[in-house]
Amino acid sequence: MFGRVRSLFRVFTRRRDFEEGMSEELRFHIEQYTDDLVRSGMSREKAARVIRAELGSPLNIKADCREAFGVHFFDEFRRQLSYAVRLLRKTPAFTVTALLTLAVCFGANLTIFAVIDSVLLRPLPFPEPDRLMMIFNTYPKAGVDRDGSSLTNYYERRGRIPALASLSIYSYGTEIVGEPGSTERLQTMRVSADFFSTLGLGPAIGRTFTDEETTYETDQVAILSDAFWRQRYNADPGMIGKQIRVNSVPRTVIGVLPPSFRFLSSDARVFLPLASRPEERAPSRRHSGGNVIQMIARLQPDATLTQAQSEIDAQNAALEVDDPQAKMIADAGFRSLVVPLRADHVAAARPTLLLLEAGVLVLFLIGAVNLVNLLLIRASARIKELAVRQALGAGWRYLVSEVVVETTLLTFAGGLLGLAVGAGGIQLLRGLGADRLPLGSHTVFDARLALVGLVAAIVMGIVFALPVACFHLRRHLGNALQSESRGGTGGHGAQILRHSFLVSQIALAFVLLAGAGLLGLSLQRVMAVSPGFQSDHVLTGQILLPWADYSEAGRLKFAESLMDKLDHLPGVLSAGVVNNVPFSGNIGKSATTIAGHVRRPGESARGHYSYGVAGDYFRAMGFVLREGRFLAADDSRRSERVCVVDEDFARYYWPHASAIGQRLWDGSEAGKDAEGFTIVGVVGGVKQAGLTENEAQGAIYYPYAFRIGDSVFVAVRTSLPPESLALTLQKVVRQIDADVPVSDLRSMDIRIADSLVARRSPALLAGLFSGVALLLTSIGTYGVLSYAVAQRRREIGLRMALGAQPGQIRVQFLSLSLRLLIVGTVLGLIGAWQAGRAMRSLLFQVPPLNVAVLAGATCVTALVCLAACLLPSQRAARISPMETLAEE
């Protein structure tokens, strides 16, 4: 076998040597033989004749030799390739249509596949990633589905869960890094000492954190990402031991991560120890996760998820025995769930991606069916030629390989174009927010993708060749010659095949169109939802104040002086500060205790959105005042504690009475009387995380002094276009503190629009896909109808000669396409119904079977298909009887 390949290779590379050698060898043979014959007394002429008779034609011998040596295969391939190129160039309309169809279909599929590959398929870049788990607390009955894990959870579980080989915690954050004057705000992660060993991938140089470094005061160390080390420190090999400033505090660099280190979607540049004080790890803090700290674990090699889950359940149950809050926790439906890390991380993106993959596959199917149909029509046009060649002795193997070469050439070229379309498509998807998907920024157009595309192209070519080859081989030779010469209507079976392909194309396009319609309608309904505040003309930005530079009092002063400066700016109508604006992407709910509220049976403590506000936040955001008053600037400094709640909160606790004057405590237990807050106002409910949230969880707004966090958002209502105020806002902040940058500067309108990207982009893509599908379907309809007309020219000519009117002919073809259209639409309706059911979870206030969408899809499909048959029908009606009959 090896020898064969080697000799083939040798021949392929030294083809000319082979041919020359063969000629020389034969010449030598003839000359020697001639000499011998002449020596035996024959004349030269006679000798030449004898040799010719005995040897046969040198050309035939050479052909036989090539075949014997395995060279003929390449010759034949080359011949068939150039024949295919000639044929394709003879029919440019077909070739261009086919290539564009293939390019679009391959490109769209490669694009979506690239995203699916990076988000759903490619394993996480850690050893044995399947053993990595995420563990989080959930309190479903308190309205808190996900609360991260607490420090207490971590220190209680560490080393005590046998099914886990390693357990660690982390939190995301942003810190100000750099020397005064050249600071920048960077993504960071705080991690426990065993974080890197849980993942199985640690620093490339230096070391990881130690347990001692996860305690306050001894945590002044940092690990850098490879990218940060290269960009900021020029890949300084002596970086270990040097100091960098993080939030104005110097830290010693102890390690640099390898370039391949990427934790989920995080773009963290600096890793710090997740340090805590012993009291933060106390049992009383067990349920204070607040979705800030997350827990990951690596299973033991032989352990299962179920095992780990039951061990954690058992430990939780044992710990709750002497917990004073045990009843409340149990009422809230508390559990700590163990889920696979990767699946958990991409769970939200999965249904949309699968939907898009389905859409793009349908598009591919339409394109493929379209091409097969066009190829079959093309094959019918060549029936006579092939029949003649078969009659003249062309073997079926040869004809089949000719067809395969032609279709594969076509699909391969289409595949190459598709690679270009795919590369562009990935750029387009980035613009549509694909890099904001979990793991979506890993989406790349690489050699692996190109290989997948080209292999698929070759397979497609072979698949396309099958029906065409069958079509040619199944036909009886004589039959083909006869039917064509008499101008018959061609095989009935072939016609049924063509028509059913067209019907399925119409049906599939209909399904795509209806699906896109459902998504579009959902998007429209979502956009019609009011966020609960006036989102226009509001600019917001996030400001991070380092704890090292700002005490709680300092933070309050910062907020107040910022408000003071902003209020005096021209163009600013009102300005306010808040821990977290709606649609910022951060959500956290806190437990609240209401004075005098007796829980109904089965009711647990509820988590509510809790904010601290300063300045004129409510007016800046355009909140509606339902009752009482907004918070005032001096509420932060008054001894009497007051707060404002939203109407959802008020309605939940006091459905039949006013909330004004009621008292509550921030926390899961009633505190001292002086620490209680009196409700002084009720504002309208607002959407916190997204327009589609249907659960009104209720929100509480405290004066800023009572709820100070590490970052604040500033909100400014302006009479100008909000973006035009961005520079001014940054300048004002820098005037107060030159080292504090404003980040995430976006108007509220943009924040809301950005929150819709997960709906808008799929709707847009589905619209794009269905547009292409309709185009392909119209091409298919046009092709099939044109062929039907061309095939029946003589019949039409004859009928017109016998008195048929052009109108009758036109109606005949239009009614044929109408019949196909109706069957296709009915099938499409069934498909659309199923597709709607499958995508129910992605719809918003739209039933899977929406009459308007289906009616719209029917109209559009009908219009496009009928428009596509007008031209061929018209052509049929204009056939001249004289010409067609004279052709025979």
Partner 1 sequence: MSKTAELLPGTLDMLILKAVSLKPLHGYGVLLRIRQISNDALEIPQGSLYPALYRLEHHNLIASEWGQSENNRRAKFYTLTPAGRRRLRDETAGWNRLARAIAAALNTTSEEV
Binding region for partner 1 (CB under 8 A): 3-4, 7, 21-22, 24-26, 28-29, 31-33, 54-56, 60-61, 64-70
Q: Smallest gap, in angstroms, from Cβ of residue 59 to partner 1?
A: 11
HSE of 879 in the Cβ direction (CA atoms, 13 Å)?
30
Residue closer to partner 1, measured from CB, 70 or 806: 70
Residue closer to partner 1, measured from CB, 71 or 708: 71
Sequence-distant (≥ 6) Cβ neighbours of residue 294 within 8 angstroms: 134, 136, 148, 149, 169, 170, 171
Residue closer to partner 1, measured from CB, 28 or 547: 28
Residue closer to partner 1, measured from CB, 15 or 637: 15
Residue closer to partner 1, measured from CB, 57 or 694: 57
Q: Smallest gap, in angstroms, from Cβ of residue 438 to partner 1?
A: 57
Q: Smallest gap, in angstroms, from Cβ of residue 264 to partner 1?
A: 56
Q: Smallest gap, in angstroms, from Cβ of residue 74 to partner 1?
A: 14
Q: Smallest gap, in angstroms, from Cβ of residue 33 to partner 1?
A: 6
Q: Smallest gap, in angstroms, from Cβ of residue 395 to partner 1?
A: 19
Q: What is the spatial distance between Cα 581 and Cα 222, in angstroms, rounded to a whole number?
A: 31
Residue closer to partner 1, measured from CB, 69 or 412: 69
| Coil vs helix vs strand at 76 | helix
| Coil vs helix vs strand at 734 | helix
Residue closer to partner 1, measured from CB, 69 or 652: 69
Based on its alpha-carbon atoms, the radius of gyration of the chain, rounded to whole angstroms, reads 38
Sequence-distant (≥ 6) Cβ neighbours of residue 704 within 8 angstroms: 556, 559, 577, 612, 613, 614, 636
Instruction: Give the other-Cβ count within 10 Å of 631's Cβ.
Output: 25
Instruction: Give the other-Cβ count within 10 Å of 298's Cβ.
Output: 24
CA distances, 406 to each of 77, 153, 375, 384, 465 (Å): 11, 65, 10, 18, 8
Instruction: Give the burial class of 674: count Cβ atoms within 10 A of its Cβ; 0-12 exposed, 13-18 middle, 19 or more buried.
Output: exposed
Asked whether 752 and 581 are in contact (CB, 8 A), the reply is no
Q: Smallest gap, in angstroms, from Cβ of residue 9 to partner 1?
A: 12
Q: Smallest gap, in angstroms, from Cβ of residue 12 to partner 1?
A: 13
Residue closer to partner 1, measured from CB, 42 or 811: 42
Q: What is the spatial distance between Cα 397 and Cα 761, in angstroms, rounded to a whole number?
A: 49
Q: Residue with structure tokens 């002044």?
A: 220
Q: Smallest gap, in angstroms, from Cβ of residue 392 to partner 1?
A: 23
Q: Smallest gap, in angstroms, from Cβ of residue 402 to partner 1?
A: 25
Residue closer to partner 1, measured from CB, 42 or 689: 42
Phi-psi region of 123 (alpha: psi -120 to 50; beta: other; left: phi over 0): beta
HSE of 335 in the Cβ direction (CA atoms, 13 Å)?
11
Length of the chain in terms of residues written: 888
Instruction: Give the other-Cβ count within 10 Å of 551's Cβ.
Output: 12
Residue closer to partner 1, measured from CB, 5 or 347: 5
User: 3-state DSSP helix/strand/coil percent for the chain, to nearest 5?
Assistant: 55, 15, 30
CA–chain centroid gap for 164, Å, is 32
Q: What is the spatial distance between Cα 724 and Cα 716, in angstroms, rounded to a whole number?
A: 12
Residue closer to partner 1, measured from CB, 29 or 285: 29
Instruction: Give the other-Cβ count within 10 Å of 726's Cβ.
Output: 16
Q: Smallest gap, in angstroms, from Cβ of residue 18 to partner 1?
A: 10
Residue closer to partner 1, measured from CB, 27 or 819: 27
**Which DSSP string corresponds to 766-814?**
HHHHHHHHHHHHHHHHHHHHHHHHHHTHHHHHHHHHTT--HHHHHHHHH
Q: Smallest gap, in angstroms, from Cβ of residue 3 to partner 1?
A: 4
Q: Smallest gap, in angstroms, from Cβ of residue 38 to partner 1?
A: 14
Residue closer to partner 1, measured from CB, 68 or 318: 68
The kind and range of the H/E element at 32 are: helix 15-39
Instruction: Give the burial class of 513: count Cβ atoms within 10 A of its Cβ; 0-12 exposed, 13-18 middle, 19 or more buried.
Output: buried
Q: What is the spatial distance between Cα 370 and Cα 97, in angstroms, rounded to a whole number?
A: 10
Q: Smallest gap, in angstroms, from Cβ of residue 516 to partner 1?
A: 58
Q: Smallest gap, in angstroms, from Cβ of residue 31 to partner 1?
A: 8
Q: Smallest gap, in angstroms, from Cβ of residue 65 to partner 1?
A: 4
Residue closer to partner 1, measured from CB, 33 or 833: 33
Tell which residue, 615, 619, 681, 600, has the closest CA to residue 647: 681
Tell which residue, 538, 513, 570, 147, has the closest CA to residue 362: 513
Q: Smallest gap, in angstroms, from Cβ of residue 400 to partner 1?
A: 25
Instruction: Give the burial class of 735: count Cβ atoms within 10 A of its Cβ; 0-12 exposed, 13-18 middle, 19 or more buried.
Output: exposed
Residue closer to partner 1, measured from CB, 54 or 634: 54
- The single-letter code of the amino acid at 284 is S
Q: Smallest gap, in angstroms, from Cβ of residue 49 to partner 1?
A: 14
Q: Residue with structure tokens 């036109």?
A: 810
Q: Tokens for 488?
A: 């018959």
Asked whether 717 and 573 are in contact (CB, 8 A), the reply is yes
Residue closer to partner 1, measured from CB, 23 or 306: 23
Q: What is the spatial distance between Cα 308 and Cα 157, in angstroms, rounded to a whole number?
A: 11
Sign of CA dihedral 858, 859, 860, 862: positive
Residue closer to partner 1, measured from CB, 3 or 395: 3
Residue closer to partner 1, measured from CB, 56 or 721: 56
CA–chain centroid gap for 487, Å, is 52
